[in-house]
Structure 1
Amino acid sequence: MGRFKNNSDDSTDAVVDISPLIDCVFILLIFFIVTTTFVEETGVEVDKPQAASSVQLEKTSIMIAITANGEIVYGGNEIGISGIRPLVKRMMQKEDVPVIIQADQNVMSGLLVRVIDEAKLAGAMKVSIATLKNQG
């Protein structure tokens, strides 16, 4: 009868160690932060023209904006027409990414053509113009 004792007066609490769970949560958090792709915006608001043939492009790209008054902006800073070629060359050294130009619909076509030309002279193979999808 001594083999099975019921020691009800022993009050041992079961403790769950949650430190491995916290480690797993932090590892998952770091994984999602590292693998997330961030889209770098141009830093200015432009009124894009509409087009019926609009398609979605890659998330990793060089975004250059042309405002209605002719300013050329990348990353919130005005770079001017002379800043396009060095910027695109530097970005193309890492990987071959497309150049997307967000031009205001009131931009003169000559300035838009010069921006496209500078990007292509810097080595960009794909240069696109950002538009809004036509809803009609």
Structure 2
Amino acid sequence: MESSIEQKIEEGNKQEIDLAPLLDVVFILLIFFIVTTVFVRETGVDVDKPTAISTKQLERSVLLIAITDRKEVIYGGTNIGIKGVRATLMQATRNQMRPLIIQADKTVPTELLVNVLDQAKLAGIENVSIATVNK
């Protein structure tokens, strides 16, 4: 039969960490980050793009210009108009030449699209594409 001293020594060696408070803290932090997270909505213009069979994925370092059905020319969320295209693109490509993608609504007059293309060429941009939706 074991003495009470030996029994206390054996019980003293069986130390365990209580994980319940740790889990409480983890769940509280998780709830805090979920509640305080700000979801960023991508800014842009809704454009009903024409369809095409040969489409490619968009590269990361491209310039985007949108032409809306209301004949607005948008760059970076700002209406720059046809007169602001050349200056805006020259400033955007001052340090590095990047390709331009034009997102034109399918109801946009061809004349407006050609004018934007002309202004891009006058700004020195050689790689210009028109965004489409895959058929």
- Residue-pair matches, total: 107
Match of 1:58 in 2: 59
Superposed CA offset, 1:77-120 (max 9, x none): 10000111011111111211101000000000010000011011
Separation in 2, partners of 1:125, 1:57:
17
Match of 2:107 in 1: 106
Q: What is the CA distance between 1:75 and its match in structure 2? A: 1.3
TM-score by structure 1 length? 0.67
**Structure 1 moving runs of 4+ over 6 Å:** none
Match of 2:69 in 1: 68
Equivalent residue runs for 1:1-136 within 5 Å: 43-134=44-135
Q: What is the CA distance between 1:71 and its match in structure 2? A: 0.5
TM-score by structure 2 length? 0.67
Q: Percent identity?
A: 49
Q: Which has the higher Rg, Structure 1 or Structure 2?
A: 2
Q: Counting helix residues as a fraction of each chain, which structure ranks higher?
A: 2
Q: What is the CA distance between 1:44 and its match in structure 2? A: 1.0
Separation in 1, partners of 2:114, 2:97:
21
Match of 1:3 in 2: none
Separation in 2, partners of 1:59, 1:67:
22
Match of 1:30 in 2: none
Q: What is the CA distance between 1:57 and its match in structure 2? A: 3.4
